[in-house]
Amino acid sequence: MKIAVLSRNPKLYSTKRLVEAIEQHGHQSVVIDHLKCDIIMDQKGPAIFYKGENLNDIDAVIPRIGASVTFYGTAVVRHFEMMHVFTAVESQAITRSRDKLRSLQILSRSGVGMPKTAFTNYSKEENRVIRHIGNAPVVIKLLEGTQGLGVVLAETDKAAKSVVEAFDSLKTRVILQEFIEEAGGADIRVFIVHGEVVGAMKRQGKEGEFRSNLHRGGSAQVIKLSRKEKSTALTAAKSMGLDIAGVDMLQSKRGPLVLEVNSSPGLEGIEKATGVDIAGKIVEYIERSAAKKRNKKKKATAKP
């Protein structure tokens, strides 16, 4: 098979590991910068050109779409889908997961545990909104924030009101979320591939930091999940329609609480913490899925 990794930087750890795994499994790899793809539409059907070359020989795609280029990145993935190319992560699922408000609504409907969250279009009554989730401390998040950026911990109701007012003056939408103190500045990242937990790590924020992101100096170690943590992570990923996902959860007194579901989870932290060949698991999933797709196509064409 010829498997394309959609990535803007071939030197990134995740991109390099996926290329290595693809080639170790005997397949041909190619890294494609999705922002440099030309999407062509006419009566002959959809086509994608990259640096002047028609990408009509790709068997499968692994999307690694950054949050800042979600619109065009998912358009490219969607075009591959229209060309009947297998995509490890569907375009609709990526779009769904990147909309922070929509993803929280979906998680709430799925019944998984999650921190109480509030959002309003009317910010003149900040105290009322804060009361919906309880007393301070309150976590305030930008709807567009990633990797811990755009996340503020307000220690008092007065501070929370001031932060909300400040964001409102900039015409920036935020959500308010209860602060889970017993989590102790740590969270759990669960890596899921096609309905299976293939790795899990506990991330601990550095001293004085309530965010546990590794990009912000946090540390990680392997963790054995409880049955409830495992089922919660699988339910969260399934509700978002993601076959490859990184589910972030907090450990609380009332059980695991899902923070978000990432459609392009990094491989470096999870592979180094667990020692598991996550990239290889992804390629094996593509092999199985592509084989099923070929068999279905053969059966369909064999019918009289």
List, for residues 30-79, the tens digit of each pLDDT value: 999 999 999 999 988 999 999 999 999 999 999 999 988 999 999 999 99
Q: Quick one: 76 and 125 in the same domain?
A: no
pLDDT higher than 70, residue 270: yes
Answer yes or no: are the C-beta atoms of 189 and 256 closer than 8 Å. Answer: no
The reply to whether 97 falls in a domain is no
CA–CA gap between residue 183 and residue 5 (Å, rounded): 35
What is the CATH classification number for the domain harbouring 64?
3.40.50.20
Q: Say yes or no: 39 and 83 in one domain.
A: yes
Domain-embedded: residue 82: yes
For the record, the structure tokens of 299 come out as 């059966």
Q: Which among 107, 31, 22 has a CA at the least distance from the CA of 64?
A: 31
- Looking at the chain, the whole-number percentage of residues with pLDDT higher than 70 is 87
Q: Do 59 and 130 reside in the same domain of the chain?
A: no
Rounded-to-5 percentages of helix, strand, coil across the chain: 40, 30, 30
- Pick from 163, 179, 195: which residue ends a domain? 179
Do 160 and 125 share a domain, yes or no? yes
Tell whether 207 is covered by a domain. no
Q: How confident is the model at residue 295 (pLDDT cuts 50, 70, 90)?
A: low
What pLDDT does 304 receive?
54
Report the number of distinct structural domains present in the chain.
2
Mean pLDDT, the chain, as a whole number? 88
86: left (phi over 0), alpha (psi -120 to 50) or beta: beta
23 and 83 inside one domain: yes
State the Cα–Cα distance between residues 35 and 233, nearest whole angstrom: 31
Query: Does 85 share its domain with 7?
Result: yes
Whether 109 is in a domain gets the answer no
Domain termination site, one of 179, 205, 227 = 179
Ramachandran angles phi, psi of 278, nearest 5°: -65, -40
Beta bridge partners of 221: 202
Residue 99 lies in a domain: no
Tokens 């290329």, residue located: 19
Q: Do 32 and 71 belong to one domain? A: yes
List the domain range (segments joined by +) for residue 165: 116-179
The answer on 84 and 35 residing in a single domain is yes
Work out the pLDDT band at 303, boundaries 50, 70, 90: low
Judge whether residue 182 has pLDDT over 80: yes
Residue 68, in any domain of the structure:
yes
Read off the CATH number of the domain in which 156 is found.
Answer: 3.30.1490.20
Residues 78 and 122 placed together within one structural domain of the fold: no
* Residue 148 domain flag: yes
- 80 in the same domain as 122: no
How many residues does this entry show for the chain?
304
Return d(Cα 87, Cα 247) in angstroms, integer: 20
- Decide if 216 is inside a domain: no
Write down which residue in 162, 179, 196 finishes a domain. Answer: 179
Summarised one tens digit per residue, pLDDT across range 142-165 is 876 555 567 888 888 888 888 888
Q: Find the angle CA(149)-CA(141)-CA(224) to the nearest 5 degrees.
A: 75
- Residue 262 pLDDT more than 70? yes
